[in-house]
Homo-oligomer: A and B are copies of this chain.
Protein backbone atom coordinates (compact mmCIF):
# COMPACT_ATOMS: atom_id res chain seq x y z
CA UNK A 1 0.00 0.00 0.00
CA UNK A 2 1.39 3.36 -1.01
CA UNK A 3 1.63 6.03 1.67
CA UNK A 4 1.48 9.66 0.61
CA UNK A 5 3.43 12.30 2.50
CA UNK A 6 0.21 13.95 3.72
CA UNK A 7 -0.98 10.65 5.12
CA UNK A 8 2.32 10.09 6.86
CA UNK A 9 2.16 13.51 8.47
CA UNK A 10 -1.39 12.73 9.55
CA UNK A 11 -0.34 9.39 11.00
CA UNK A 12 2.50 11.03 12.91
CA UNK A 13 0.09 13.57 14.31
CA UNK A 14 -1.94 10.64 15.58
CA UNK A 15 1.10 9.51 17.54
CA UNK A 16 2.26 6.66 15.28
CA UNK A 17 5.86 5.67 15.86
CA UNK A 18 7.61 5.90 12.54
CA UNK A 19 10.91 4.36 11.72
CA UNK A 20 11.33 4.01 7.94
CA UNK A 21 13.94 1.29 8.31
CA UNK A 22 12.00 -1.16 10.44
CA UNK A 23 8.25 -0.73 10.16
CA UNK A 24 6.27 -2.22 7.29
CA UNK A 25 3.81 0.17 5.71
CA UNK A 26 0.88 -2.15 6.25
CA UNK A 27 1.67 -2.51 9.92
CA UNK A 28 1.71 1.23 10.27
CA UNK A 29 -1.71 1.40 8.66
CA UNK A 30 -3.10 -1.15 11.11
CA UNK A 31 -1.89 0.92 14.04
CA UNK A 32 -3.28 4.03 12.43
CA UNK A 33 -6.68 2.49 11.78
CA UNK A 34 -7.24 1.88 15.49
CA UNK A 35 -6.26 5.46 16.22
CA UNK A 36 -8.41 6.86 13.43
CA UNK A 37 -11.37 4.93 14.82
CA UNK A 38 -10.71 6.48 18.21
CA UNK A 39 -10.42 9.99 16.77
CA UNK A 40 -13.74 9.48 15.01
CA UNK A 41 -15.36 8.30 18.25
CA UNK A 42 -14.00 11.45 19.93
CA UNK A 43 -15.49 13.68 17.24
CA UNK A 44 -18.83 11.89 17.50
CA UNK A 45 -18.84 12.50 21.22
CA UNK A 46 -18.07 16.16 20.71
CA UNK A 47 -20.91 16.30 18.22
CA UNK A 48 -23.27 14.65 20.73
CA UNK A 49 -22.25 17.23 23.32
CA UNK A 50 -22.96 20.11 20.97
CA UNK A 51 -26.40 18.61 20.39
CA UNK A 52 -27.00 18.75 24.13
CA UNK A 53 -26.35 22.47 24.50
CA UNK A 54 -29.25 24.07 26.27
CA UNK A 55 -29.73 21.26 28.78
CA UNK A 56 -27.75 21.03 32.02
CA UNK A 57 -25.55 18.19 30.78
CA UNK A 58 -22.30 19.55 29.44
CA UNK A 59 -20.73 16.14 28.81
CA UNK A 60 -21.40 12.48 28.18
CA UNK A 61 -22.36 10.62 31.34
CA UNK A 62 -20.33 7.44 31.02
CA UNK A 63 -17.31 5.51 32.21
CA UNK A 64 -14.24 5.64 29.97
CA UNK A 65 -14.23 3.36 26.92
CA UNK A 66 -13.56 -0.27 27.83
CA UNK A 67 -14.26 0.18 31.54
CA UNK A 68 -17.29 -0.45 33.72
CA UNK A 69 -18.71 0.08 37.17
CA UNK A 70 -19.54 -2.91 39.37
CA UNK A 71 -22.94 -2.60 41.00
CA UNK A 72 -23.61 -4.20 44.41
CA UNK A 73 -24.89 -7.48 42.89
CA UNK A 74 -21.87 -7.75 40.63
CA UNK A 75 -19.67 -7.02 43.65
CA UNK A 76 -21.28 -9.87 45.58
CA UNK A 77 -20.44 -12.24 42.71
CA UNK A 78 -16.95 -10.78 42.35
CA UNK A 79 -16.20 -11.27 46.04
CA UNK A 80 -17.30 -14.90 45.82
CA UNK A 81 -14.98 -15.51 42.87
CA UNK A 82 -12.07 -13.80 44.61
CA UNK A 83 -12.60 -15.94 47.69
CA UNK A 84 -12.39 -19.18 45.69
CA UNK A 85 -9.19 -17.98 44.03
CA UNK A 86 -7.51 -16.65 47.18
CA UNK A 87 -8.40 -19.84 49.07
CA UNK A 88 -6.52 -21.82 46.46
CA UNK A 89 -3.50 -19.50 46.50
CA UNK A 90 -3.35 -19.72 50.30
CA UNK A 91 -3.76 -23.51 50.21
CA UNK A 92 -0.47 -23.52 48.30
CA UNK A 93 1.29 -21.32 50.83
CA UNK A 94 1.32 -17.97 49.01
CA UNK A 95 1.83 -14.58 50.66
CA UNK A 96 0.39 -11.46 49.07
CA UNK A 97 1.84 -8.06 48.20
CA UNK A 98 0.75 -4.90 46.41
CA UNK A 99 2.42 -2.39 44.08
CA UNK A 100 1.34 1.05 42.77
CA UNK A 101 -1.07 1.26 39.83
CA UNK A 102 1.54 3.15 37.84
CA UNK A 103 5.24 2.55 37.36
CA UNK A 104 8.05 4.66 35.94
CA UNK A 105 7.55 4.48 32.17
CA UNK A 106 11.01 3.02 31.68
CA UNK A 107 10.18 0.13 34.05
CA UNK A 108 7.71 -1.15 31.45
CA UNK A 109 9.84 -0.36 28.39
CA UNK A 110 11.04 -3.34 26.38
CA UNK A 111 9.03 -5.98 28.23
CA UNK A 112 5.94 -6.47 26.07
CA UNK A 113 7.13 -6.71 22.45
CA UNK A 114 4.51 -5.63 19.95
CA UNK A 115 1.94 -5.09 22.73
CA UNK A 116 3.86 -2.09 24.09
CA UNK A 117 1.67 0.22 22.04
CA UNK A 118 -1.24 -0.74 24.30
CA UNK A 119 0.36 0.78 27.42
CA UNK A 120 -1.45 3.79 28.95
CA UNK A 121 0.93 6.69 29.63
CA UNK A 122 0.27 9.48 32.08
CA UNK A 123 0.53 13.06 30.93
CA UNK A 124 3.83 14.81 31.62
CA UNK A 125 2.72 17.28 34.28
CA UNK A 126 6.27 17.93 35.46
CA UNK A 127 8.09 15.19 37.33
CA UNK A 128 8.58 11.56 36.45
CA UNK A 129 7.19 9.95 33.30
CA UNK A 130 4.67 7.31 34.37
CA UNK A 131 2.63 4.51 32.79
CA UNK A 132 -0.25 2.43 34.11
CA UNK A 133 0.76 -1.17 34.79
CA UNK A 134 0.11 -3.51 31.86
CA UNK A 135 0.30 -6.66 33.97
CA UNK A 136 1.35 -7.66 37.48
CA UNK A 137 4.41 -9.63 36.38
CA UNK A 138 6.74 -6.76 35.47
CA UNK A 139 5.95 -4.85 38.72
CA UNK A 140 6.62 -8.12 40.59
CA UNK A 141 10.02 -8.49 38.92
CA UNK A 142 10.79 -4.82 39.67
CA UNK A 143 9.82 -5.43 43.31
CA UNK A 144 12.09 -8.49 43.61
CA UNK A 145 15.09 -6.68 42.11
CA UNK A 146 14.50 -3.53 44.16
CA UNK A 147 14.26 -5.44 47.43
CA UNK A 148 16.90 -8.04 46.54
CA UNK A 149 14.46 -10.89 47.17
CA UNK A 150 15.49 -14.17 45.53
CA UNK A 151 12.82 -16.49 46.89
CA UNK A 152 9.10 -15.84 47.36
CA UNK A 153 5.73 -17.39 46.56
CA UNK A 154 3.19 -14.60 46.28
CA UNK A 155 -0.22 -13.78 44.88
CA UNK A 156 -1.39 -10.38 43.75
CA UNK A 157 -4.94 -9.45 42.82
CA UNK A 158 -5.25 -6.05 41.16
CA UNK A 159 -6.40 -4.19 38.08
CA UNK A 160 -4.23 -3.81 34.99
CA UNK A 161 -4.64 -1.51 31.98
CA UNK A 162 -4.47 -2.14 28.23
CA UNK A 163 -5.45 0.31 25.51
CA UNK A 164 -6.81 -2.58 23.48
CA UNK A 165 -9.96 -2.75 21.42
CA UNK A 166 -12.51 -3.73 24.06
CA UNK A 167 -15.09 -6.48 23.51
CA UNK A 168 -17.04 -6.08 26.71
CA UNK A 169 -19.73 -8.66 26.03
CA UNK A 170 -16.95 -11.23 25.85
CA UNK A 171 -15.39 -9.94 29.05
CA UNK A 172 -12.55 -8.05 27.32
CA UNK A 173 -11.96 -4.69 29.01
CA UNK A 174 -9.34 -1.95 29.07
CA UNK A 175 -9.34 -2.03 32.87
CA UNK A 176 -9.50 -5.56 34.21
CA UNK A 177 -8.49 -7.67 37.16
CA UNK A 178 -5.65 -10.11 37.12
CA UNK A 179 -5.13 -12.69 39.86
CA UNK A 180 -1.50 -13.69 39.73
CA UNK A 181 0.35 -16.47 41.50
CA UNK A 182 4.12 -16.64 41.05
CA UNK A 183 6.98 -18.66 42.46
CA UNK A 184 10.43 -17.05 42.44
CA UNK A 185 13.57 -18.95 43.33
CA UNK A 186 16.25 -21.33 42.13
CA UNK A 187 14.66 -24.80 42.35
CA UNK A 188 14.80 -28.17 40.65
CA UNK A 189 13.27 -28.22 37.15
CA UNK A 190 9.51 -28.17 36.61
CA UNK A 191 8.39 -28.65 40.25
CA UNK A 192 7.01 -25.10 40.72
CA UNK A 193 5.98 -25.08 37.03
CA UNK A 194 3.76 -28.12 37.65
CA UNK A 195 2.29 -26.60 40.83
CA UNK A 196 1.06 -23.65 38.73
CA UNK A 197 -0.85 -26.10 36.53
CA UNK A 198 -2.28 -27.75 39.65
CA UNK A 199 -3.48 -24.37 40.95
CA UNK A 200 -5.18 -23.41 37.69
CA UNK A 201 -6.85 -26.84 37.69
CA UNK A 202 -8.02 -26.36 41.30
CA UNK A 203 -9.42 -22.86 40.69
CA UNK A 204 -11.26 -23.69 37.46
CA UNK A 205 -12.71 -26.83 39.07
CA UNK A 206 -13.83 -24.98 42.21
CA UNK A 207 -15.40 -22.14 40.22
CA UNK A 208 -17.55 -24.76 38.48
CA UNK A 209 -17.34 -23.18 35.03
CA UNK A 210 -17.62 -26.46 33.16
CA UNK A 211 -15.01 -28.41 31.23
CA UNK A 212 -11.65 -26.82 30.44
CA UNK A 213 -8.26 -27.60 29.01
CA UNK A 214 -4.89 -26.28 30.18
CA UNK A 215 -2.64 -25.91 27.14
CA UNK A 216 1.11 -26.05 27.74
CA UNK A 217 4.11 -25.41 25.53
CA UNK A 218 7.73 -24.36 25.97
CA UNK A 219 9.62 -21.35 24.62
CA UNK A 220 12.59 -23.56 23.77
CA UNK A 221 10.39 -25.93 21.77
CA UNK A 222 8.97 -22.96 19.86
CA UNK A 223 12.41 -21.48 19.24
CA UNK A 224 13.76 -24.88 18.18
CA UNK A 225 10.78 -25.33 15.88
CA UNK A 226 11.41 -21.93 14.22
CA UNK A 227 15.11 -22.84 13.93
CA UNK A 228 14.57 -26.20 12.19
CA UNK A 229 11.82 -24.74 9.98
CA UNK A 230 14.24 -22.11 8.69
CA UNK A 231 13.06 -18.90 10.35
CA UNK A 232 15.92 -16.35 10.57
CA UNK A 233 16.95 -15.84 14.24
CA UNK A 234 16.01 -12.13 14.19
CA UNK A 235 12.45 -13.05 13.22
CA UNK A 236 11.76 -15.57 16.03
CA UNK A 237 9.89 -13.05 18.18
CA UNK A 238 7.73 -11.55 15.47
CA UNK A 239 6.86 -14.97 14.02
CA UNK A 240 6.06 -16.09 17.58
CA UNK A 241 3.58 -13.16 17.76
CA UNK A 242 1.93 -14.45 14.59
CA UNK A 243 1.63 -18.01 15.97
CA UNK A 244 0.12 -16.46 19.13
CA UNK A 245 -2.89 -15.40 17.06
CA UNK A 246 -3.84 -19.01 16.27
CA UNK A 247 -6.24 -19.16 19.22
CA UNK A 248 -8.27 -16.31 17.74
CA UNK A 249 -7.85 -16.73 14.02
CA UNK A 250 -7.07 -19.36 11.35
CA UNK A 251 -3.91 -20.85 10.04
CA UNK A 252 -4.48 -19.41 6.56
CA UNK A 253 -4.58 -15.87 7.96
CA UNK A 254 -1.55 -16.42 10.17
CA UNK A 255 0.33 -17.92 7.23
CA UNK A 256 -0.52 -14.90 5.10
CA UNK A 257 0.69 -12.52 7.83
CA UNK A 258 3.97 -14.45 8.11
CA UNK A 259 4.60 -14.30 4.38
CA UNK A 260 3.09 -10.97 3.29
CA UNK A 261 3.73 -8.84 6.32
CA UNK A 262 6.77 -10.40 7.94
CA UNK A 263 8.50 -11.55 4.76
CA UNK A 264 8.78 -15.24 5.63
CA UNK A 265 9.54 -17.79 2.92
CA UNK A 266 6.28 -19.71 2.07
CA UNK A 267 8.05 -23.09 2.49
CA UNK A 268 9.19 -22.07 5.99
CA UNK A 269 5.65 -21.03 6.87
CA UNK A 270 4.35 -24.40 5.66
CA UNK A 271 6.95 -26.21 7.78
CA UNK A 272 5.68 -24.31 10.82
CA UNK A 273 2.13 -25.16 9.77
CA UNK A 274 2.89 -28.89 10.08
CA UNK A 275 4.04 -28.54 13.71
CA UNK A 276 1.50 -26.07 15.07
CA UNK A 277 -1.30 -28.49 14.22
CA UNK A 278 -0.04 -30.93 16.81
CA UNK A 279 -1.32 -31.38 20.34
CA UNK A 280 -1.44 -34.26 22.79
CA UNK A 281 0.08 -35.66 25.96
CA UNK A 282 3.17 -37.61 26.97
CA UNK A 283 2.95 -39.70 23.77
CA UNK A 284 3.36 -36.52 21.65
CA UNK A 285 6.51 -35.64 23.59
CA UNK A 286 7.96 -39.09 22.85
CA UNK A 287 6.90 -38.86 19.20
CA UNK A 288 8.56 -35.46 18.76
CA UNK A 289 11.74 -36.67 20.49
CA UNK A 290 11.84 -39.26 17.64
CA UNK A 291 11.02 -36.63 14.97
CA UNK A 292 13.73 -36.56 12.26
CA UNK A 293 13.93 -32.75 12.34
CA UNK A 294 12.90 -31.15 15.63
CA UNK A 295 15.44 -32.70 18.10
CA UNK A 296 18.29 -31.60 15.80
CA UNK A 297 17.80 -28.29 17.58
CA UNK A 298 19.45 -28.38 21.00
CA UNK A 299 16.82 -25.93 22.32
CA UNK A 300 13.93 -28.11 21.10
CA UNK A 301 15.45 -31.26 22.60
CA UNK A 302 15.91 -29.58 25.98
CA UNK A 303 12.40 -28.16 25.82
CA UNK A 304 10.90 -31.57 25.01
CA UNK A 305 12.74 -33.19 27.91
CA UNK A 306 11.44 -30.44 30.20
CA UNK A 307 7.93 -31.03 28.88
CA UNK A 308 8.25 -34.74 29.68
CA UNK A 309 9.13 -33.88 33.31
CA UNK A 310 6.30 -31.33 33.57
CA UNK A 311 3.69 -33.79 32.31
CA UNK A 312 4.97 -36.49 34.67
CA UNK A 313 4.52 -34.17 37.68
CA UNK A 314 1.08 -33.14 36.38
CA UNK A 315 0.21 -36.83 36.37
CA UNK A 316 1.23 -37.17 40.04
CA UNK A 317 -0.83 -34.05 40.86
CA UNK A 318 -3.84 -35.79 39.23
CA UNK A 319 -4.40 -33.08 36.62
CA UNK A 320 -2.92 -34.60 33.46
CA UNK A 321 -6.35 -35.36 31.98
CA UNK A 322 -6.96 -31.60 31.55
CA UNK A 323 -3.49 -30.80 30.21
CA UNK A 324 -2.76 -30.57 26.49
CA UNK A 325 0.75 -30.13 25.13
CA UNK A 326 -0.05 -27.81 22.21
CA UNK A 327 2.55 -26.61 19.72
CA UNK A 328 0.34 -23.74 18.56
CA UNK A 329 0.45 -22.11 21.99
CA UNK A 330 2.86 -19.16 21.75
CA UNK A 331 2.11 -16.33 24.14
CA UNK A 332 3.29 -13.07 22.62
CA UNK A 333 5.06 -11.48 25.57
CA UNK A 334 8.79 -11.11 25.18
CA UNK A 335 9.77 -12.16 28.67
CA UNK A 336 8.86 -15.88 28.69
CA UNK A 337 11.83 -18.22 28.67
CA UNK A 338 10.45 -21.70 29.44
CA UNK A 339 7.07 -23.34 30.02
CA UNK A 340 4.05 -21.33 28.87
CA UNK A 341 0.42 -22.00 29.86
CA UNK A 342 -3.04 -21.05 28.74
CA UNK A 343 -6.31 -22.38 30.13
CA UNK A 344 -9.37 -22.39 27.89
CA UNK A 345 -12.99 -23.14 28.71
CA UNK A 346 -14.46 -25.78 26.44
CA UNK A 347 -17.87 -25.17 24.95
CA UNK A 348 -17.54 -21.43 25.52
CA UNK A 349 -18.43 -19.06 22.71
CA UNK A 350 -17.04 -20.32 19.45
CA UNK A 351 -16.32 -18.46 16.26
CA UNK A 352 -17.26 -20.56 13.22
CA UNK A 353 -14.47 -20.45 10.66
CA UNK A 354 -14.50 -20.19 6.91
CA UNK A 355 -13.73 -23.90 6.68
CA UNK A 356 -16.32 -24.97 9.20
CA UNK A 357 -13.93 -25.73 12.08
CA UNK A 358 -14.40 -23.85 15.34
CA UNK A 359 -12.03 -21.64 17.29
CA UNK A 360 -12.54 -21.18 21.01
CA UNK A 361 -12.12 -17.72 22.48
CA UNK A 362 -12.49 -18.68 26.12
CA UNK A 363 -9.00 -18.12 27.53
CA UNK A 364 -9.33 -17.72 31.31
CA UNK A 365 -5.74 -18.14 32.54
CA UNK A 366 -2.24 -17.83 31.20
CA UNK A 367 1.34 -17.62 32.26
CA UNK A 368 4.74 -19.17 32.04
CA UNK A 369 8.36 -19.12 33.12
CA UNK A 370 10.36 -15.90 32.90
CA UNK A 371 13.87 -16.48 34.18
CA UNK A 372 15.39 -13.33 32.67
CA UNK A 373 12.96 -10.62 33.75
CA UNK A 374 14.25 -9.86 37.26
CA UNK A 375 17.81 -9.67 35.89
CA UNK A 376 16.68 -6.89 33.54
CA UNK A 377 16.08 -4.79 36.67
CA UNK A 378 19.04 -5.81 38.81
CA UNK A 379 22.01 -3.40 38.64
CA UNK A 380 24.38 -6.35 38.25
CA UNK A 381 22.02 -8.39 36.09
CA UNK A 382 21.52 -10.98 38.86
CA UNK A 383 18.87 -13.47 37.74
CA UNK A 384 15.95 -14.76 39.83
CA UNK A 385 14.12 -17.59 38.04
CA UNK A 386 10.34 -17.18 38.16
CA UNK A 387 7.24 -19.00 37.02
CA UNK A 388 3.62 -18.00 37.43
CA UNK A 389 0.05 -17.96 36.23
CA UNK A 390 -2.52 -15.24 35.93
CA UNK A 391 -6.25 -15.88 36.20
CA UNK A 392 -8.10 -13.52 33.85
CA UNK A 393 -11.27 -13.30 35.79
CA UNK A 394 -13.34 -10.73 33.87
CA UNK A 395 -14.50 -13.58 31.67
CA UNK A 396 -15.20 -15.67 34.75
CA UNK A 397 -17.32 -12.79 36.16
CA UNK A 398 -19.30 -12.61 32.91
CA UNK A 399 -20.07 -16.33 33.08
CA UNK A 400 -20.99 -16.24 36.79
CA UNK A 401 -23.23 -13.23 36.22
CA UNK A 402 -25.01 -14.94 33.36
CA UNK A 403 -25.44 -18.07 35.50
CA UNK A 404 -26.88 -16.06 38.41
CA UNK A 405 -29.32 -14.35 36.05
CA UNK A 406 -30.35 -17.62 34.45
CA UNK A 407 -31.08 -19.16 37.85
CA UNK A 408 -32.91 -15.96 38.87
CA UNK A 409 -31.05 -16.29 42.17
CA UNK A 410 -31.80 -13.62 44.74
CA UNK A 411 -28.40 -12.24 45.66
CA UNK A 412 -28.26 -10.30 48.93
CA UNK A 413 -26.03 -7.25 48.72
CA UNK A 414 -26.09 -6.38 52.44
CA UNK A 415 -25.67 -8.52 55.56
CA UNK A 416 -28.13 -6.67 57.81
CA UNK A 417 -29.72 -8.93 60.45
CA UNK A 418 -32.29 -6.62 62.02
CA UNK A 419 -34.42 -3.72 60.85
CA UNK A 420 -35.40 -1.47 63.76
CA UNK A 421 -38.93 -0.27 63.10
CA UNK A 422 -41.98 1.37 64.61
CA UNK A 423 -45.55 1.86 63.41
CA UNK A 424 -46.17 4.82 65.73
CA UNK A 425 -45.34 8.52 65.49
CA UNK A 426 -42.54 10.23 67.45
CA UNK A 427 -40.53 7.06 67.89
CA UNK A 428 -37.41 8.34 66.09
CA UNK A 429 -35.31 8.75 69.24
CA UNK A 430 -36.39 5.32 70.51
CA UNK A 431 -35.40 3.74 67.20
CA UNK A 432 -32.03 5.53 67.31
CA UNK A 433 -31.49 4.25 70.87
CA UNK A 434 -32.34 0.68 69.93
CA UNK A 435 -30.03 0.79 66.89
CA UNK A 436 -27.23 2.03 69.14
CA UNK A 437 -27.78 -0.89 71.51
CA UNK A 438 -27.62 -3.38 68.64
CA UNK A 439 -24.60 -1.80 66.89
CA UNK A 440 -22.69 -1.58 70.17
CA UNK A 441 -23.34 -5.32 70.66
CA UNK A 442 -21.95 -6.03 67.16
CA UNK A 443 -25.33 -6.76 65.55
CA UNK A 444 -25.89 -5.61 61.98
CA UNK A 445 -28.88 -3.28 62.13
CA UNK A 446 -30.59 -0.62 60.06
CA UNK A 447 -33.50 1.79 60.32
CA UNK A 448 -35.27 4.09 57.88
CA UNK A 449 -33.90 7.66 58.16
CA UNK A 450 -37.34 9.23 58.55
CA UNK A 451 -39.02 10.71 61.59
CA UNK A 452 -42.28 8.84 61.05
CA UNK A 453 -41.91 6.14 58.40
CA UNK A 454 -44.93 4.00 57.51
CA UNK A 455 -44.92 0.45 58.87
CA UNK A 456 -45.61 -0.86 55.36
CA UNK A 457 -42.50 0.86 53.98
CA UNK A 458 -40.41 -0.65 56.76
CA UNK A 459 -41.75 -4.16 56.02
CA UNK A 460 -41.09 -3.64 52.32
CA UNK A 461 -37.49 -2.58 52.94
CA UNK A 462 -36.86 -5.76 54.96
CA UNK A 463 -38.57 -7.83 52.28
CA UNK A 464 -36.71 -6.43 49.26
CA UNK A 465 -33.26 -6.43 50.87
CA UNK A 466 -33.69 -9.80 52.59
CA UNK A 467 -33.35 -8.61 56.20
CA UNK A 468 -34.50 -11.65 58.23
CA UNK A 469 -35.64 -9.94 61.48
CA UNK A 470 -37.62 -6.82 62.41
CA UNK A 471 -37.40 -5.34 65.91
CA UNK A 472 -40.54 -3.28 66.51
CA UNK A 473 -40.95 -0.73 69.30
CA UNK A 474 -43.98 1.36 70.26
CA UNK A 475 -45.72 2.78 73.32
CA UNK A 476 -46.73 -0.70 74.53
CA UNK A 477 -43.24 -2.15 74.21
CA UNK A 478 -41.71 0.86 75.98
CA UNK A 479 -44.19 0.53 78.87
CA UNK A 480 -43.57 -3.22 79.19
CA UNK A 481 -39.81 -2.97 78.72
CA UNK A 482 -39.97 -5.30 75.70
CA UNK A 483 -39.33 -5.39 71.96
CA UNK A 484 -41.47 -7.25 69.42
CA UNK A 485 -39.20 -9.44 67.29
CA UNK A 486 -40.66 -10.61 63.98
CA UNK A 487 -39.20 -13.35 61.79
CA UNK A 488 -39.77 -12.17 58.21
CA UNK A 489 -39.89 -15.67 56.77
CA UNK A 490 -42.07 -17.48 59.31
CA UNK A 491 -43.98 -14.27 60.24
CA UNK A 492 -43.69 -15.44 63.87
CA UNK A 493 -43.64 -12.60 66.43
CA UNK A 494 -42.32 -12.81 69.96
CA UNK A 495 -42.18 -10.33 72.85
CA UNK A 496 -38.62 -10.18 74.13
CA UNK A 497 -37.66 -8.45 77.40
CA UNK A 498 -35.28 -5.63 76.48
CA UNK A 499 -32.53 -7.10 78.69
CA UNK A 500 -32.56 -10.38 76.73
CA UNK A 501 -32.82 -8.81 73.28
CA UNK A 502 -29.17 -9.06 72.24
CA UNK A 503 -28.81 -12.73 73.18
CA UNK A 504 -32.14 -13.67 71.58
CA UNK A 505 -31.27 -11.89 68.32
CA UNK A 506 -27.88 -13.61 68.20
CA UNK A 507 -29.58 -16.97 68.76
CA UNK A 508 -32.20 -16.31 66.06
CA UNK A 509 -29.47 -15.26 63.59
CA UNK A 510 -27.61 -18.51 64.25
CA UNK A 511 -30.80 -20.50 63.67
CA UNK A 512 -31.61 -18.64 60.44
CA UNK A 513 -28.10 -18.94 58.95
CA UNK A 514 -27.93 -22.67 59.71
CA UNK A 515 -31.39 -23.42 58.34
| Inter-chain contacts of A409 with B (CB < 8 A) | none
Tell whether, in the assembled complex, residue B97 and residue A69 are in contact, meaning their CB atoms are under 8 Å apart.
yes
Number of A positions contacting B (CB below 8 A): 106
Other-chain residue from B61, B67, B70, B78 in contact with A146 (beta carbon distance below 8 A):
B61
| Inter-chain contacts of A78 with B (CB < 8 A) | 98
Complexed CA–CA distance, A442 and B60 (Å): 49
Oligomer copy total: 2
Complexed CA–CA distance, A391 and B57 (Å): 31
A147 interfacial contact with B, CB 8 Å: yes
A318 interfacial contact with B, CB 8 Å: yes
Tell whether, in the assembled complex, residue B185 and residue A449 are in contact, meaning their CB atoms are under 8 Å apart.
yes
A22 interfacial contact with B, CB 8 Å: no
Complexed CA–CA distance, A380 and B42 (Å): 24
A424 interfacial contact with B, CB 8 Å: no
| Inter-chain contacts of A92 with B (CB < 8 A) | 439, 444-446
Q: In the complex where A45-B128, A432-B313, A451-B188 touch, is A61 in contact with B100 (Cβ < 8 A)?
A: no
A10 interfacial contact with B, CB 8 Å: no
Tell whether, in the assembled complex, residue B318 and residue A440 are in contact, meaning their CB atoms are under 8 Å apart.
yes
Q: Of the 9-residue stretches A241-249, A411-419, A479-487, which lies at the interface with chain B?
A: A411-419
User: What is the chain B residue whose CB lies nearest that of A88?
Assistant: B439
| Inter-chain contacts of A122 with B (CB < 8 A) | 120-123, 132
A403 interfacial contact with B, CB 8 Å: no
Complexed CA–CA distance, A127 and B166 (Å): 13
A143 interfacial contact with B, CB 8 Å: yes
Complexed CA–CA distance, A451 and B163 (Å): 43
Q: Of the 9-residue stretches A102-110, A299-307, A337-345, which lies at the interface with chain B?
A: A102-110
Other-chain residue from B75, B96, B432 in contact with A75 (beta carbon distance below 8 A):
B96
Question: A46-61: which have CB < 8 Å to B?
Answer: 52, 55-61
Complexed CA–CA distance, A367 and B142 (Å): 36
A215 to chain B minimum Cβ distance, whole angstroms, is 22
Other-chain residue from B58, B102, B380 in contact with A56 (beta carbon distance below 8 A):
B380
| Inter-chain contacts of A415 with B (CB < 8 A) | 90
A505 to chain B minimum Cβ distance, whole angstroms, is 13
| Inter-chain contacts of A100 with B (CB < 8 A) | 63-64, 67-69, 175
A69 to chain B minimum Cβ distance, whole angstroms, is 5
A218 interfacial contact with B, CB 8 Å: no
10 A-B residue pairings within 8 Å (CB atoms) = A57-B378, A61-B377, A63-B100, A65-B127, A71-B97, A75-B95, A122-B122, A185-B449, A191-B449, A313-B432
Interface set of A (CB-CB < 8 Å, partner B)? 14-15, 34-35, 38-39, 41-42, 45, 52, 55-65, 67-72, 75, 78, 90-104, 106-107, 120-128, 130, 132, 142-143, 145-147, 154, 159, 161, 163, 175, 183, 185, 187-188, 191-192, 194-195, 198, 202, 313, 316-318, 375, 377-381, 413-416, 428-429, 432-433, 436, 439-440, 442-446, 449-451
